[in-house]
C-alpha cells in the first residue's frame, strides 16, 4: 500500500534562509509521481513541484527544489531564500497510475523577519 | 477568476439539515475530486469522477452523496451529518485521472461545521 510520511509537524526559519521539509514514501510500484503542495491560511492547495520516479534529475521550480533520493524513498522539499509569504502548510503527496493523490499530514512552516 | 471555484466558503448546519457543496472548474479538465481535510489528519480522498463517471469511492458514508452532471461541475450533497464530519472539503480537478503524474488544481474549500 502507498504511504506518505512527514515527520516534522512544524518548522521555523528566518527570512532569506534555506529550509528543508522532509518527506518519505512507501510503495512497491516502480512507477509513481511525487508532488509538493502549499496551503496558505486561505485554504487553497497550491501546486509547487513534481518529480516522476523515472526522472534522472531532481526537479526545480524557481526557489523550490526536490531532493529525490530513490533508494531511501525520500522526496524532501528545499526552499531557498525563504520569504514571509512562504509561511503555510506544506504537503507531500504521491500518485501511481490508476490511483489518485494521497497526502502526508503536512508540515507547518513559519518564516520570521 | 480562479480555475476551481467552490461555494459556499463556509457552512454551518445542524445534523438534520440537507445542504449541498458546489464546485466548478474552468480549466477544461476531465476529472474532478472531493477531498476531506480534518484537523491534524492527511487529506482523505472521498470521490473521483472521470468524464462524469464515478471511478473511485473510498468507503465514504452514504450521508455524503456526490453528483457530477457534467465535466465542469461537481456537487456534494449532505444529509444527516455528524459532528465528526466537520472539516474543510476541498474540490480538485485534473486533466485526466488514473494515468499518474496528474497535477491537481484545488479550490479554496468549504469549511463545514456540523452542530
Give pLDDT tens digits for B63-96: 999 999 999 999 999 999 999 999 999 999 999 8
Residue scoring higher pLDDT (B56 or A103): A103
Q: How large is the average pLDDT for residues B9-31? A: 94
Q: How does strand A3-5 pair with strand A24-26?
A: antiparallel
pLDDT value of residue B2:
67
Give pLDDT tens digits for A66-90: 999 999 999 999 999 999 999 999 9
The sign of the dihedral angle between the CA atoms of B50, B90, A109, A5 is negative
pLDDT value of residue A97:
73
- B101 touching A, CB under 8 A? yes
Nearest C-alpha in A relative to B36? A103
Give pLDDT tens digits for B32-62: 999 999 987 889 999 999 888 888 777 899 9
Q: CB-CB: which of B48, B100, B111 is closest to A97? A: B100
Question: Contacts of residue A101 in chain B, CB cutoff 8 Å?
Answer: 45, 104
Is residue B107 within 8 Å of A42, Cβ to Cβ? no
Q: Could you give the residue ranges of the DSSP H alpha helices within chain A?
A: none
Q: What span, in angstroms and rounded, lies between the C-alpha atoms of B75 and A56?
A: 40
Residue scoring higher pLDDT (B40 or A55): A55
Band of the pLDDT at A42, cuts 50, 70, 90?
A: confident
Q: What span, in angstroms and rounded, lies between the C-alpha atoms of A28 and B2?
A: 37
pLDDT value of residue A12:
97
Residue A112 burial by Cβ neighbours in a 10 Å radius (0-12, 13-18, 19+): exposed
Q: What span, in angstroms and rounded, lies between the C-alpha atoms of B2 and A21?
A: 28
Amino acid at each position: 500500500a502507498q504511504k506518505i510520511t512527514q515527520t516534522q509537524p512544524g518548522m521555523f526559519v528566518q527570512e532569506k534562509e534555506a529550509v528543508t521539509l522532509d518527506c518519505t514514501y512507501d510503495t512497491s510500484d516502480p512507477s509513481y509521481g511525487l508532488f509538493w503542495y502549499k496551503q496558505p491560511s486561505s485554504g487553497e492547495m497550491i501546486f509547487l513541484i513534481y518529480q516522476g520516479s523515472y526522472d534522472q534529475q531532481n526537479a526545480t521550480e524557481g526557489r523550490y527544489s526536490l531532493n529525490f533520493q530513490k533508494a531511501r524513498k525520500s522526496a524532501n522539499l528545499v526552499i531557498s531564500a525563504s520569504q514571509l509569504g512562504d509561511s503555510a502548510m506544506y504537503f507531500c503527496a504521491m500518485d501511481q497510475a490508476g490511483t489518485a493523490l494521497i497526502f502526508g499530514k503536512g508540515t507547518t512552516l513559519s518564516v520570521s523577519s | 477568476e480562479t480555475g476551481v471555484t467552490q461555494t459556499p466558503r463556509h457552512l454551518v448546519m445542524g445534523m438534520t439539515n440537507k445542504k449541498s457543496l458546489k464546485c466548478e472548474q474552468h480549466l477544461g479538465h476531465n476529472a474532478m475530486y472531493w477531498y476531506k481535510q480534518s484537523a491534524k489528519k492527511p487529506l482523505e480522498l472521498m470521490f473521483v469522477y472521470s468524464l462524469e463517471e464515478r471511478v473511485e469511492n473510498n468507503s465514504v458514508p452514504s450521508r455524503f452523496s456526490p453528483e457530477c452532471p457534467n465535466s465542469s461541475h461537481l456537487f456534494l450533497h449532505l444529509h444527516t451529518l455528524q459532528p465528526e464530519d466537520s472539516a474543510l472539503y476541498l474540490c480538485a480537478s485534473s486533466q485526466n485521472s488514473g494515468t499518474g503524474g496528474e497535477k491537481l488544481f484545488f479550490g479554496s474549500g468549504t469549511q463545514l461545521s456540523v452542530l
